[in-house]
């Protein structure tokens, strides 16, 4: 592991209980310069062939999440580890296998060291759905879940939840549903994580960064969306010991 210090961070006031996965469409050197010039930071960067760079000590609060929400908590910089992965397509094309291997090794160490709940391993788009698209719909969440990094679902579990209320189901998972625009953004972030076939490819990366949401939300009315949402909600409730008989 290499070390490149980023100067902008603060002391932690809370314990670590989250991992937030990001991606960036720049070279590693460009990313580091961009973070410095923007007075932002991350704990780790994973390069295009899997090399890991440590930028901020785990014990410090890096500035990577921005305005954020997950499972009732806000300002997630304070309790999370941020990991940035190089992806020229901003997560719309497959990640290099070496990157995923390095990410898995790093996450396993962090999970063990800080006892991070499996339901608290999320993407930037999950915690900031109105602003962010990363780590993108090509990020292999299902593959990581097989290594106990994050959660996946069994579609049959949709039968164990009675409600089809999108607001309630997204909230059970952890998403922000404070108003209609945020709920719609959370629904699209949910698709980036669990139903990538509903996500529209945008080959213009600059446009994608500025426009993280599609204008077509008709997928929320489909049976596969509702059933997957129910199955995922059940999975997250079970992992978090939340009541899920609704």
| Residue 84 bears catalytic tag | yes
Per the residue annotation, which of 11, 74, 84, 210 is the catalytic one?
A: 84
Are 62 and 56 a contacting pair, CB within 8 Å? yes
CA distance 212 to 190: 13
Burial class, 149, CB count within 10 angstroms (exposed 0-12 / middle 13-18 / buried 19+):
buried
Angstrom CA distances, 193 to 17, 84, 146, 189, stand at 20, 17, 15, 6
- Residue 75: name the closest of 84, 87, 88, 62 by CA: 62
Quote the CA–CA distance of 8 and 52 in Å, as a whole number: 19
Catalytic residues: 84
């Amino acid at each position: 592991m290499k070390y490149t210090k980023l100067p902008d961070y603060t002391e932690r006031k809370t314990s670590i209980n989250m991992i937030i996965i990001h991606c960036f469409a720049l070279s590693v050197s460009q990313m580091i310069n961009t973070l410095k010039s923007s007075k932002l930071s991350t704990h780790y960067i994973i390069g295009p062939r899997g090399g890991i760079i440590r930028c901020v000590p785990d014990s410090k609060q890096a500035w990577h999440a921005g305005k954020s929400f997950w499972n009732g908590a806000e300002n997630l910089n304070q309790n999370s580890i941020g990991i940035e992965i190089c992806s020229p397509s901003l997560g719309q094309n497959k990640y290099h296998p070496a990157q995923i291997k390095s990410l898995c090794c790093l996450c396993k160490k962090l999970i063990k060291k800080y006892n991070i709940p499996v339901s608290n391993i999320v993407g930037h788009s999950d915690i900031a759905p109105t602003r962010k698209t990363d780590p993108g719909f090509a990020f292999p969440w299902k593959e990581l879940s097989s290594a106990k990094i994050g959660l996946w679902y069994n579609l049959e579990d949709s039968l164990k939840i009675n409600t089809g209320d999108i607001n309630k189901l997204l909230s059970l998972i952890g998403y922000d549903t404070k108003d209609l625009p945020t709920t719609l953004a959370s629904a699209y972030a949910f698709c980036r994580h669990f139903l990538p076939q509903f996500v529209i490819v945008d080959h213009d990366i600059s446009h994608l960064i500025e426009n993280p949401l599609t204008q077509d939300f008709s997928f929320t009315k489909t049976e596969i969306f509702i059933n997957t949402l129910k199955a995922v909600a059940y999975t997250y409730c079970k992992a978090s010991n939340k009541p899920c008989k609704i």
